[in-house]
Structures are given as structure tokens and as C-alpha cells.
Structure 1
Amino acid sequence: MVLLSFDIEEFDMPFEYGKTISFEDQISISRAGTIAILDILDKYEVKATFFCTVTFAENIPDLIKRITDTGHELASHGYYHSDFKPEHLLQSKQKLEELSGKEIIGYRMARMMPVDEKEIEKAGYTYNSSINPTYLPSRYNNFGISRTYFIKDNVLQLPASVSPLFRFPLFWLSFHNLPLAMYKTLANWTYKKDNYLNIYFHPWEFTDLDDFERFGFPGYVRKNTGAKMIQRMENLIVWLKAKKKYPFGTIQQFISTIPKK
């Protein structure tokens, strides 16, 4: 099963590059990107999982309704994107359930940072998808963690997909920078090995990020954003559906197919 997921959040990434951006712009940019994503998913009849912060959810009630009404899964991305306390695990779950009227069973930590699995279990989540099992300088050093799903502290751990053998990450940054044919080859290899693909993106990638003075993003971040990103995502979905005939689904749907041990 192909598991597309989107970390929808207040767009605070410019702060990492020494730029300031108003809260209103953070919301409006992520809102525009989320609409673009939903339009693509509707067009190709694909279901996906949206990991949402409470802060963003409170500012887009119409899109939260659209996400749940059209059969996508809503999961927690924390209360805020740039602040975390252990109590936010339960608080974000409860608030998202209040806002959506749906049970929230999944969690993903902002920026795929480590999170205490015992606290995840205590907050009542079924699964955690906060692991990028690869090595990226100054960000991840997770070669010692399983490349595929496993159970820890009674919580299903669903790492982001990386290729077999050398663990090349298939996350958003790779999708922007690799030639699309190469990305497809790695994705297909990974799917055939694991029988699923878990890849994640963000709404701001589907907006134009080329303004260096405004956002401060290096070329490898802003490459293939906006209209180019929409085109590439549509190309990938069509290829996976038509050529490979791989099914798409939410993470909740996927874990219901995992045999109980």
C-alpha cells in the first residue's frame, strides 16, 4: 500500500534560515498548499493521512472538515510546530478530536525528532510515525533503527520509507532534488521489498518558495516547489496507480491489515 502523508502546520520554516514571517502568512501559505494537496487527491481519488498541529487546525476549520469528510485520516503533529512538551501529546490528541469529531490514533513529532514512546502510549496513540531511519548530517542518525515497522512500548512504529541496503531517504527533500525517474526507481525498489511505501510532504512545498529574500531557503529546499511540485506529485501518483497498480490508503487502513502477533 502507498501511504502518502502530509505534515500540515503553521509555516515556521523561514525562522530556521534567519527570516521572520508573520503568523498570518504562516497560516495562509500552509492553507494554500493544503488546498492544492486536497485538490490533487480528489482528482486522482487517493486517500492520505494528514498530521496536523492544533495551532494550524484551529485556523482552518473548513479544511479539517474537508479532510475528514472526503475520507482522509487526521492525525496529530503536536500542539505547536516549534514548541513541544510531553503534555502536548495528550492535549493535541484531545483537541484534534474535539475539532474534527474523529478519533485520533496516530502521531508524528515535528521535524521527525525523537519522542518518548512510553509517553506516546500513555497519551493513547496506536501508532507513531516519527522516525526517519537514515543518516543526515545534523538531523538524523538512525541507522540502528529498523527500516520497517515494528512494535515498541505497545505502540506501532512506522518509520518513513528509505531504500533497502543503503537506506537512501525517500522523503520530501529527495523528491524535490532527484530526477523523477531515479526517485521512481528507488520508490519501486522499496515497495517491492517492503510491500508498502511511507512518504511524507508538507503543504508549503506546493506553493512558490523561490523568493530568497523572503524565505531564505537554499536551492535544494526551493527546487521544484509550487506548480512544479504539483506536476511532479500528479506524475508520481499516476505512475504508481496506472503503471504499477499499487493501492493507496491511509495509515489507519494500512495498520488494520498488519497481522496481530
Structure 2
Amino acid sequence: MKESFSVTVDLEDWYHIPSVCSSPYAVYKNVNEFFEKWHGRYDFLTEPTNRVLDILDEFNVTATFFVVADTVEHYPGLVESIVERGHELACHGLHHACKIDPETKTRLVSNQEFEQMTLLAKRILEKISGEKVVGYRAPNALIGGWMVDLLEQIGFKYDSSVSVNSLYNKTDSPLNKVSSFPYYPAKSRLEAGNDRNFIEFPWAYYQNGLKIPASGGPILRFLGAPLVLNGLIQSLKRGHTIFYFHPLDISCTRFPSIGKNRPFYWCIKGKLVENRIRHILKNLNEVKKICLRDYSGI
């Protein structure tokens, strides 16, 4: 087994998912419209995030938090508490909006729009963290090669959105030469290319004939800890890899029942998933864990 992996946390609330906001099939066209029209409780994020921070302290993990930048406005003090606990802030978009179509993978924004939104998000997070934000994860892991080129141009050093597996591909590239360890993406594509000043950190998968996504998130909720743990162990033998989850995954509170296309998305969560996260961290306790900014290639 190789020597390290990264624990990453996607900081977003229930309304950021594409069935509610900011996708071609969402109830609300964007987060701003959501806040204009929604009059119920919206904060289901603060309580589980505080528990995540305690879990990370318990296991002595310094994590990378991919933060949707508008949480700084709507959850005063929450992102600041992540910085105070010593974790890395990275960018998960301004409003968690899809940048490519989930079905066709065609772009939904221009280069200029992408640069403007992402730079604003970067600056918001840098003001909170007091240091450069160098990492990005595409909202909903929908990533295009053209986005990587622009990320590099505006000062990012890495992305962590690519999931190689036999079930789906959320990118605009075939990924034929991509595995579960870091690589330099080719210009304007997400295939493995030559050296550049930008690294892609793809996610873990478990291979047994098929390649099954095994990095965490919804897979952890629906398919359980053994698959994810075995996928992480197998991926560690290939090189540095990624484990990820959301604070919402461990929330014990029922979320508002609105949204299109994903009626069962949050049917498994809470203490059950928290125990799964603890099981994985306990079983990988002896493996070195580093935040992504500390990876030697950055």
C-alpha cells in the first residue's frame, strides 16, 4: 500500500444539489432565486459540519474542505471555524451550479462567465482563509477539459473531480488512460498528458472486472463501507487517492421534500453513515493522511 491519501469534505447544503438548484432540471434556476422564494428553514448544514470537525479531530485528520463560496454569506462563522481547526479551504464553485450539462456534457456557461464566477468564489474563500486557495472540485463532479485550462490560468494548482468507473462518466473526455492516482491532464481534455503546472486528483475505485466508484459520497450511503474501504485499499496500492463525504451525509434531520429526478437521494444518511465514516478512518488509521495542498507535486 502506498503511503498517503486525502480526506476531502464537500461543504454544501441540501438545496445546492442539482434537483433543487442550478441545473437544467432544477426547481430553482439558481441559489439566488431559491433564497428569494424559499421561506422555510434552510440551514441543515451547520450542525453536521460541527460534528464532522469533531470526527476529524478525533482521528487526527487534516482535511481539504471543498466549499461552496455562498456558504460564507448564509452561514456566518461556519467556514471560519473550518479554518480555525487547521483544515484546507478549496473551491466548490460560487453557488454549486452545473457548468456542463449532466446528460450531453456540453458547456452551460461561457469562458468569461466561468472565470468571473470562479474568481469571485476564490477571492471570497481567500479572504476567510488568509491564504491562496489553490484547489477546485466541480459542482456535482461535472468537469470539462476546458474548465481545467481556465482554472490553471486564474491561479488554481489542482482539481479533484474525476471519477473513473464503468458505470458513468461525468466528464467530456473518455478517460482511457486515467486511473485513481494523480496525473497531469492534457490541454483542453481530462486524459493523462504531459507535465504542466496543474494536477488532477481522481477518485478511488474498486476493480473486479468492472471499475466501481469507491471514493465515498453517495456510494458510501447506498453501497456501504466495505466497498468504499476495499476500493480505497486497492487504490492506495496504485498511488495517492481520495476519500470524500458531505456533512449532510451524517445529518439526522429530515430535509425538505422538494427536488426533481432524485426522490430517494437522501433516504440513507445520519448516524448509520457516520459510523461508516468512522469505520473507514479507523481501518486506515495507520495510513498517512494529507490535505491536498500538502501533496508533494503542488
> In which range does the TM-score fall when normalised by the shorter chain?
0.7 to 0.9
1:232–1:51 Cα change, 3 Å: same
Residues 146-182 of structure 1, C-alpha deviations (whole Å, 9 max, x = no match): 1221113531111122235632111312212224334
Q: Does 1:230 align with 2:235?
A: no
Aligned position for 1:169 = 213
CA–CA distance in 2 between the matches of 1:10 and 1:224?
A: 16
Structure 2 unaligned regions, length at least 5: 29-33, 100-112, 188-196
Equivalent position of 1:73 in the other structure: 88
Q: 1:149 aligns with which of 151, 163, 182?
A: 182
Residue number in structure 2 paired with 1:100: 129
1:246 matched to 2:287: yes
Which residue number corresponds to residue 10 of structure 2?
7
Q: Which SS does the other structure have where 2:242 is aligned?
A: strand
1:212-223 alignment runs, 5 A limit: 213=257, 217-219=262-264, 221-223=265-267
What amino acid is the match of 1:150? Answer: Y
Aligned with 1:124: secondary structure? coil
Q: Which residue of 1 aligns with 2:160?
A: 129
The 10-residue stretch of structure 1 (105-114 or 167-176) with the greater mean CA deviation from structure 2: 167-176
- Greater fraction helix: 1
How far off is 1:79 after superposition?
A: 0.9
* Cα 1:205/1:23, change in 2 over 3 Å: farther
CA contact (8 A) 2:64 2:87 kept: yes
Q: Deviations over 1:175-223 (max 9, x none)?
A: 12224334322221221232x230221221111366684567544x335
TM-score, with normalisation over the residues of structure 2? 0.74
RMSD: 2.8
CA positional deviation for 1:23: 7.5
Amino acid across the alignment from 1:157 = E
Distance 2:213 2:169 in 1: 15
Secondary structure of the corresponding residue to residue 7 of structure 1: strand
Question: Cα–Cα, structure 1 residues 128 and 24, in superposed 2: closer, same or farther, change >3 Å?
Answer: farther
Q: Secondary structure at the match of 1:29?
A: coil
Question: What one-letter code is carried by the residue in structure 1 that aligns with 2:151?
Answer: I
Cα distance per residue 1:14-58 (max 9 Å; x no partner):
5279778747644x1122221221121122221110011110122
Rounded Cα–Cα distance in structure 1 between residues aligned with 2:255 and 2:135: 34
Q: Residues 223 and 24 of structure 1: is their aligned pair in 2 closer, same or farther, counting only changes over 3 Å? A: closer
CA contact (8 A) 1:132 1:142 kept: no
1:239 Cα deviation (Å)?
1.4
**Partner of residue 140 from structure 2, selected from 92, 103, 111:** 111
2:68 to 32, 45, 53: 53
Q: Which residue of the partner structure matches residue 50 of structure 2?
A: 35
Q: Which residue of 1 aligns with 2:119?
A: 90
After TM superposition, give the deviation of residue 80 of structure 1 in Å: 0.9
Match of residue 78 from structure 2: 63
| Contact in 1 for aligned 2:206/2:227 (Cα 8 Å) | no
Unaligned runs of 5+ in 1: none
Matched residue, 1:159:
202
Q: Which of 200-209 and 11-20 deviates more?
A: 11-20
Tell me, what secondary structure is at the counterpart of 1:89? helix
What TM-score do you get using the length of structure 1 for normalisation? 0.83
1:178-197 map, 5 Å:
178-194=223-239, 196-197=240-241
